[in-house]
Structure 1
Amino acid sequence: MSDVRTGQAPPPLDRSAFGRRFRARFIDPAYRREDEALARLEQIAWEAYDEGRKAPHTHKAGPGFANPDYDLSDEWREAKGKLDAAQMRWADAATPSRVLVVCGSPRNDGTCPGEISKTWRINHWLQQELAARQIDVDKLDLSLITSDYDRHIHPCKGCVSTAMPLCHWPCSCYPNHATGQTNDWMAEIYERWVSAHAVIIATPVHWYQSPSVLKLMIDRLVCADGGNPDPTLTQGKKAALAKQIEAGGWHYPQHLAGRAYGLVVHGDVAGIEGTRRALSDWLDWMGFIDASAQARLDRYVGYYEPYFNSHDALHRDSAFEQEVRNVARAVAHAVGELRAGRLTPPALERARAK
């Protein structure tokens, strides 16, 4: 079995460095009248960091887990319970059809840009078409992590690259209360993906690629493709144990397979086709079903024109608007066919498991 290789991470912060890092968020002079209280809180935070109290609230896993005596995080258990309930609703033919519409732009008028994104307007067209077909629309605006107070999608830590069973479904890397990695939005976002019968992602192109807010979510969805739904198997994050389990054979469950998808990728100079292909390949890999060629759209808006009037360019492009609406129409049709059992992927076993 492959050894666990170590030696990259720097040593933990010492008490002095930790104190400087902790106090940095309280630089506003208004906090000075509470310096004594902050010092007490800093000491508590230091003890949590020094002792590694990642999950301070735990209970025995109990029945249904490989190791019922393992102390399982209460927060993870709650997130997993919501996913299980969402999966049951998704599979229930009596529930309304639901489409998750994702706004992949970081721009909104509640933060530094001072203006809504074109992607937000595109999402509105998608929502209109879906609602007109009696489909419930769940609007996920990823720009909120740039404007909301202390809302985060923390980065993926790459557990899957050590061993697939180390990547838990849903992700158990966060929250980490010892390191202050809290208020992670993904626990809610996982539930919204599970609840959806289809997903439409609308996104601009940033430097030939998906914007950072969208890529953060994409990376954190790795646990949906092959992730381990039982953290007690690996006793939390024991890398050697996870390697041993995968060496013995892993089934790489696709937790989101069977949902439809559509894409709208727009840009102003370059990168739309590569970004759209990458997103298509990613969703295909996870077992999603594309809702036809008309549901996969990449177009330039205001090609090589200035930025200041790009909203005007979007307003003028009536053909693009109709193409966007066609994405929603194609996805709505695919959802109906999926739920009626008339649209299914071929039942072929993967030649290469992963």
Structure 2
Amino acid sequence: MSNEPNSDLEPRKGSPSPRLEEAEFRKRFLNQFRDPAYEPLKVELEKVADAAWDAYAHSRKSPQTRRAGPGFADPEYALSSDWLAARQAINEAQARHEDKNGPFRFLLINGSSRSEHTCPGELSKSYRMVEIARQVLEQDPGTSVNVLDLSRIASEYGRHIHPCKACFSTSAALCHWPCSCYPNHSLGQIHDWMNDIYPMWVESHGIMIVTPVNWYQTSSSLKLMIDRLVCADGGNPDPSSTHGKHAKEAKEIEMKGWEYPKHLEGRLFSVIVHGDTEGVENVRRGVSDWLKSMELLPAGALAEVDRYIGYWEPYATNHPAFERDEAIQQEVRNAARTLHESVLAKREGRQVAAGSRLRQARVK
């Protein structure tokens, strides 16, 4: 609860407008059809460009909507059909997560952007580690293993994770769970993968992230997903309460008192970070700290690994270096076994997370 003056909640403005004139918009839109195969369709493409410009000019972010209905703060508010479908998928995933008679569900995430299906011409060591972990987990017939291969952002047509717009920094109540920023049809920001990824996280009992070090950080594909999961950590499950992206309304709601719901709390995690020359310790700590901040639980000491493979050796021989390093392969197996053991113990009530019933002294 706060007594902030109402003027302090006015959204600050002042950055240059990104709006395009029609000529520049059409140039950019039609640029995606430069292949000579489109030449016979020039007249038709001009008509498509007309329709695209109309959608852009009138900012039709969500051209298909439905009445929110019962259970929402404003039942009459028109919510995006895309968002409602994403919400339904998350609710179904949560039911699978809570099903005590269902399988133990694991999500293995390949954080590398490298694959043989595009420019690098070779799969990543991260993917090979994910496969090692998958083989371990699938030895238990009572498990269900889902692999999220983030390299597909770089190699698959129409596969995107659009960047986070940092709505949370304006107000927690403005950051919707699941994210309502995308798709934005008027800006051509479509095919956003996150609406498929959110349910993968929600249904899981155990999550393993395997990532290389890219310039002292995670890969760009993994960082995109990390940023877009901010809505899982305190995000607002009811966009009708802020009437979409109404910043001042969201600020007012937050200042009345916000509970910061932890939508992924209690899931167990494992993190494996590998590098060639530098940065593994900091990246592993950064990813682990991020997961703990969302109140996911570390599976155990052996489930967190940071190692160098082929330290300062030629990149051209990095796969032979991995194949020779039987220790790192065994560490991946041990991480998977630790995650599996921890998930089983949690369901059986044998895992004790000391302090889990205590309320945080500070909220985000």
Give the TM bin, normalised by the shorter chain.
over 0.9
Tell me the residue number matched to 1:347: 357
The alignment status of 1:235 with 2:243, answered yes or no, reads yes
Tell me the residue number matched to 1:149: 157
Compared CA separation, residues 99 and 9, structure 1 to 2 (3 A)? farther
What amino acid maps onto 1:80 in structure 2?
R
Shift of 1:116: 0.6
What amino acid maps onto 1:232 in structure 2?
S
Shift of 1:209: 0.5
Out of 171, 175, 181, the residue aligned to residue 183 of structure 2 is: 175
Tell me the residue number matched to 1:226: 234
Shift of 1:133: 2.5
Shift of 1:11: 4.4
- Distance of 1:11 and 1:93 partners within structure 2: 50
Superposed counterparts of 1:91-240, under 5 Å: 91-134=98-141, 135-240=143-248
- Distance of 1:5 and 1:24 partners within structure 2: 35
Shift of 1:247: 0.9
The alignment status of 1:302 with 2:310, answered yes or no, reads yes
- Distance of 2:105 and 2:305 partners within structure 1: 21
Secondary structure in 2 aligned to 1:100? strand
Tell me the residue number matched to 1:20: 27
What amino acid maps onto 1:352 in structure 2?
R
- Distance of 1:235 and 1:109 partners within structure 2: 45
The alignment status of 1:39 with 2:50, answered yes or no, reads no
- Distance of 2:46 and 2:24 partners within structure 1: 14
- Distance of 2:219 and 2:66 partners within structure 1: 39
Shift of 1:344: 4.4
- Contact 1:294/1:326 (CA < 8 Å) preserved in 2? yes
What amino acid maps onto 2:53 in structure 1?
W
Tell me the residue number matched to 2:279: 271
User: Which 10-residue stretch deviates more, 215-224 or 130-139?
Assistant: 130-139
- Distance of 1:52 and 1:214 partners within structure 2: 30
Tell me the residue number matched to 1:51: 58
- Distance of 1:326 and 1:9 partners within structure 2: 52
Secondary structure in 2 aligned to 1:81? helix
- Which residues of structure 1 form unaligned runs of 5+? none
What amino acid maps onto 1:274 in structure 2?
N
Shift of 1:318: 0.5
TM-score normalised according to structure 2 size: 0.96
Secondary structure in 2 aligned to 1:178? helix
- Contact 1:133/1:332 (CA < 8 Å) preserved in 2? no
CA RMSD of the aligned region, Å?
A: 0.8
- Distance of 1:58 and 1:9 partners within structure 2: 30
What amino acid maps onto 1:63 in structure 2?
P
Tell me the residue number matched to 1:326: 334
- Distance of 2:248 and 2:164 partners within structure 1: 20
Shift of 1:342: 2.2
Secondary structure in 2 aligned to 1:201? strand
Secondary structure in 1 aligned to 2:185? coil
- Distance of 2:349 and 2:229 partners within structure 1: 26
Shift of 1:267: 0.2
Shift of 1:9: 4.0
